[in-house]
Amino acid sequence: MKQKTVLVTGASRGIGREIAKLFAKNGYQVAVNYCLSQEQAESCVDEIQQQGGTAMMIGADVSNRLEVHNMIKQVYQSFGTIDILVNNAGIAQQKLFTDLSEQDWINMFDINVKGVFEVTQAVLPPMIRQQQGNIVNISSMWGVTGASCEVHYSAAKAAVIGFTKALAKEVGPSHINVNCVAPGVIQTQMNDLLSQQTIQTLKEETPLGRIGTPKDIAELVLFLASEKASFLTGQIITADGGMTI
Ligand code: NAP
């Protein structure tokens, strides 16, 4: 059977890196996108190749239309196809709403929302021509419930949820599935600023008694991109240990 290709945005670190490694382990060719962390993207590709997998790395800021266009071109040149897109790249910021600058707002929406728009729009036409494809967007539980001191992040992640549902309706007739994972608190650099005490409180507030790991999210994304989930589209799956139920 022909090897499938997955493009994972923001795969140099954290959740995206784990997604890239898990897809590689499961026989996919992996395109590892990064923006600033070139060395970490290199080590992700090295790790995959050392385990016998196939991967390439491509630097691109997902919010930059030209860089995204060039990235997609490179993936096509190397792998010939993109079967699965994981829109994972994202930034977070904690600030009182009244302290947010216009630039804070713009950065948040540029990367977390415009980035999803740019990469998806670049990848979709060939998927529509092939009448197959799978897109998984990474939102956040805060996009579902809203978080204090993260109004811009919550609003951006809510936009990803609306994007997912609308696009799923539009491209369903082309046999393209579009789903979304809304993670809870996951142990990555994004949460480095949280104190040990805050982490402890978060664990206590979570029915499953722990915060999540990148692997928790990667396994779910792998499932959503697989044949096993072929009748799922437009779904928002919250993976938060029960924190928001
Ligand atoms: P992370 O460890 O901070 O990693 C973020 C990744 O996004 C990095 O690989 C980074 O690449 C990439 N990135 C940032 N800006 C980019 C841009 N303009 N273009 C391309 N890539 C860019 O964060 P994470 O925790 O793994 O988060 C991954 C996703 O999960 C995000 O969408 C985040 O909002 C979501 N999420 C995380 C949590 C959590 O608790 N960790 C919870 C809910 C949702 P470079 O380093 O190469 O720039």
pLDDT per residue rounded down to tens, the chain (245 residues): 789 999 999 999 999 999 999 999 999 999 999 999 999 999 999 999 999 999 999 999 999 999 999 999 999 999 999 999 999 999 999 999 999 999 999 999 999 999 999 999 999 999 999 999 999 999 999 999 999 999 999 999 999 999 999 999 999 999 999 999 999 999 999 999 899 999 999 999 999 999 999 999 999 999 999 999 999 999 999 999 999 99
Interatomic CA distance for residues 63 and 212, integer angstroms = 27
DSSP states along the chain: -PPPEEEESS-SSHHHHHHHHHHHHTT-EEEEEESS-HHHHHHHHHHHHHTT-EEEEEE--TT-HHHHHHHHHHHHHHHS---EEEE---------GGG--HHHHHHHHIIIIIHHHHHHHHHHHHHHHHT-EEEEEE--HHHHH--TT-HHHHHHHHHHHHHHHHHHHHHGGGTEEEEEEEE-SBSSGGGTTS-HHHHHHHHHTSTTSS-B-HHHHHHHHHHHTSGGGTT--S-EEEESTTTT-
CB atoms within 10 A of CB 210: 13
Residue nearest to atom 21 of ligand 1 (CA): 10
- Ligand 1 center–CA 88 separation, angstroms: 6
Residue nearest to atom 12 of ligand 1 (CA): 10
CB 9 less than 6 A from any atom of ligand 1:
yes
Residue with token string 């977070």: 92
Pairing of strands 133-138, 176-183: parallel
Residue nearest to atom 23 of ligand 1 (CA): 190
- Ligand 1 center–CA 111 separation, angstroms: 10
Q: Residue 34 CA: which ligand 1 atom is closest?
A: 47
- pLDDT for 1: 76
Q: Of 7, 9, 13, 189, which is best to mutate to test ligand 1, by the most ligand atoms within 8 angstroms of its C-beta? A: 13
For the question of residue 28 being annotated catalytic, the response is: no
Please return the burial class of 240, using the count of CB atoms within 10 Å of its CB with bins 0-12, 13-18 and 19+: buried
Q: Of 7, 40, 42, 88, which is best to mutate to test ligand 1, by the most ligand atoms within 8 angstroms of its C-beta? A: 88
- pLDDT for 2: 86
CB 206 less than 6 A from any atom of ligand 1:
no
CB 243 less than 6 A from any atom of ligand 1:
no
Q: Of 35, 61, 139, which is best to mutate to test ligand 1, by the most ligand atoms within 8 angstroms of its C-beta? A: 35
